[in-house]
Amino acid sequence: MSDIALRALSPAINDPTTAVQALDRIVQFLAALSRRPLDAALHRDRGGAVRLVQPVPGWTELVDLGFTEVRGCAIGSPQVSRRMLAGLDDLLLLVPPERREPLLRHRELLRQAVDRSGPAPADRAFALRPDRQGIG
């Protein structure tokens, strides 16, 4: 999903609405996993004995995968930055305390990036106002 958002935000395509829709799916995916155990999938035989331990990405890795690259491309698109902030805020309400750190980190990194790039204070404030649709 993050690849779809990245392609949508490329200068050749410039389609922030598609990027917002991809972010919707990323947030839904992370919400579904927000309280599930991660890091390993145990595969058992019919008798219940563990036969295979398969490593899977942990919470931090999944959050980073969903937001890192999109955040880098979202800076020039208030629609995307607003949707990303709203998604991070929604996830912060769902996750247990031990899973908040990567969400807070991405929120702060997005805020810093918008602060560095926004041409005017009003534009920066608009880009940093969370909005689930991204458009106000």
Three-class SS state of 43: strand
% of the chain exceeding 90 in pLDDT: 74
Higher pLDDT, 19 or 39: 19
Higher pLDDT, 34 or 39: 34
pLDDT at 136 over 60: no
Burial class (CB in 10 A: 0-12, 13-18, 19+), 47: exposed
* Domains of the chain, residue spans: 2-127
The pLDDT value given to residue 118: 66
DSSP structural state of residue 108: H
Prediction pTM value = 0.87
The pLDDT value given to residue 75: 85
Burial class (CB in 10 A: 0-12, 13-18, 19+), 114: buried
Q: What are the tens digits of pLDDT across the range 77-127?
A: 999 999 999 999 999 999 999 999 999 999 999 999 999 986 798 988 899
How far apart, in Å, are the Cα atoms of 79 and each of 16, 18, 62, 103?
A: 7, 11, 23, 19
> Measuring CA to CA, which residue among 3, 13, 16 is closest to residue 76?
16
